[in-house]
Structure 1
Amino acid sequence: MLIRIVKMTFDPKEVENFQQLFDRNKNKIRSFEGCNHLELLRGKNDTNIFFTYSYWDDESALNEYRHSDLFNEVWAETKVLFSAKPEAWSVDRITTLE
């Protein structure tokens, strides 16, 4: 399993547009083959900073999504709303405590 974290900083005037865009596409993203989990997180104090937190079968599944029409359409609409360059990390889970 691969965990993908993406940090996105939006122009404060565009936050509502991003949230609507995410709501329109979240089920399609989550249903994409190889995606097993999807969360949208928001900064507690910096409310124009969002993170997506997703689980993928493996790097190949993530790359299939990243090269899909769905990603290209959503990303084209999302990136024009940014106020800073997005950051992304692919990570492995080491320990989980419940």
Structure 2
Amino acid sequence: MLVRIVKMSFKPIKVEEFLANFEKNKLKIRAFEGCSFLELYQDRNSSNVFFTYSYWESANALENYRNSELFDAVWAITKPLFNAKPEAWSVNKLVSLD
């Protein structure tokens, strides 16, 4: 399993637009083949900074999503809202405690 963490910083006046787009597409992203988990976090100190946290069956599954029409459609709306370049990490989960 691959865990994908993406940090996104938006223009403060564009936060609501981002949230509306995420709300519109979150179930489609989660239902994309190979995605088994999706969460959105908001920074407690900088309300215009968000993180997505998702689980993918493999690097290939994530790459299929990143090359999909869905990703292109979501990204076309999201990209102009940024006030900084997004950062992304693909990591392996080593330990999980409930």
TM > 0.5 between the two?
yes
1:86 offset after TM fit, Å? 0.1
- Structure 1 residues without counterparts, runs of 5 or longer: none
Q: For the residues of structure 2 that align with 1:23 and 1:96, how far apart are their CA atoms?
A: 27
- 1:97 is matched with 97
1:14 is aligned to 14
Q: CA RMSD in A?
A: 0.5
The match for 2:88 is 88
Aligned match of 2:40: 40
Residues 33-89 of structure 1, C-alpha deviations (whole Å, 9 max, x = no match): 000000000001111000000000000000000000000010011000000000000
Separation (CA, whole Å) in 2 of partners of 1:59 and 1:29? 16
SS where residue 84 of structure 2 aligns? coil
What is the match of residue 67 of structure 1?
Answer: 67
- Normalised to the residue count of structure 1, the TM-score between the two structures is 0.99
Q: Percent identity?
A: 58
Q: Aligned partner of 1:27: which letter?
A: L
Displacement of 1:96 after TM fit? 1.3
Q: Which residues of structure 2 form unaligned runs of 5+?
A: none
Q: May I ask how many residue pairs the two structures share in their alignment?
A: 98
SS of the residue 1:17 aligns to:
helix
